[in-house]
Amino acid sequence: MSLEDAQNEVDVAFTREEMKGLAFENTFAGATSFLRRRYTKDLTHADVAVTGIPFDQAVTNRPGTRLGPRAIREASALQTPEPPFGWDYDVMSTFAIADYGDMAFDYAAPATIRERIESHVAGILDQDCAVVTLGGDHSITLPILRAHVARHGPLALIQFDAHTDSWENPDPTRVDHGTFVYTAVQEGLIDTAHSVQIGIRTVNEDPLGITVIEAPEVHEHGPRAVIERVHSIVGERRAYLSFDIDALDPAYAPGTGTPVWGGLTSAQAAAILRGLRGANIVGGDVVEVSPPFDPAGTTAVAAAHVAVELLSLWGWTRR
């Protein structure tokens, strides 16, 4: 693309004709779709769709993640002029990526949210399109998993988090961001023997058969050891990757509802994510970004990078 073309690009979220390729619009201006991809509900020519679920009524501490998808989209504009660093291919130029927009729902009817999310994600999958989701709190992952499992069968779960989110929830009507793993295991959505949680640093005595790699272990042994262990656990099985931004230490992601000290660094997370290339990732999400608690936008920037890594991981085995 010539300099003249770059100087005249504007609002490519609506004006771009080709779904593939980089974008050179000024990062500080224009409509902020994710990675300046085209906003569209027509996924006929799309390989993967990015969608937002701006729901945060299941949090146990600080709210605000309903504003996460918008902030992540804005932060993603920083990455659009260049191929993703650390990969030997450019997912933006190799695959047709669409921004499907956010899911519409009645904020005053939280009891209906899980069915709404499952239907929303299933509607994308039914168009033969993969899904990467921007949250929202971590309760959204349960209905997203249900939609994926209906299509692929039980999945291995790769979860980056400060918390296991596997606390017992005997009441199925409760919508809680700290119990989605428990419910998913009870429903048989997760292949626990081949699932792993990374960055954990809170106490939950029952891991439900899932391998837990605590944050101190990451610090002591380094990303390479974690990568090798995750590959040995997950193998070639279809996997879903969920990244709670509080997996990162609050120094790197202060804008989240339940921050816990001693977490992963941005560099550790980036290295582990890129090291997972080759895993059969069928979908993923990045959740728990709460912009009101991070005026500098650091957390949203980290989440936007995570989402690009999710896209790159998904595309790695499908190039």
Residues making up the annotated binding site for Mn(2+) are 138, 161, 163, 165, 244, 246
Residues 235 and 153: their CA atoms lie apart, in Å, by 16
Please choose, from the candidates 63, 81, 77, the residue with its C-alpha nearest in 3D space to the C-alpha of residue 22: 81
Residues 144 and 140: their CA atoms lie apart, in Å, by 6
Adjacent-strand bridge partners of 54? none
List C-alpha distances in Å: 226 to 144, 279, 283.
26, 14, 21
Cβ atoms of residues 5 and 12 within 8 Å: no
Sheet strands side by side (includes 48-53): 38-39, 97-102, 48-53, 130-135, 280-287, 238-244, 156-160, 196-200, 211-214
* Radius of gyration of the chain measured on its C-alpha atoms: 18
DSSP state, residue 179: S
Residues 77 and 69: their CA atoms lie apart, in Å, by 13
Residues 305 and 129: their CA atoms lie apart, in Å, by 21
How would you classify the pairing of strands 48-53 and 38-39? unpaired
Q: Which residue positions form the known binding site?
A: 138, 161, 163, 165, 244, 246
Positive or negative, the Cα torsion across 18, 281, 285, 247? negative
For 156, other C-beta atoms within 10 Å of its C-beta total 26
The distance between the two most distant Cα atoms of the chain, rounded to a whole number of Å, is: 61
* SS3 category, 37: coil
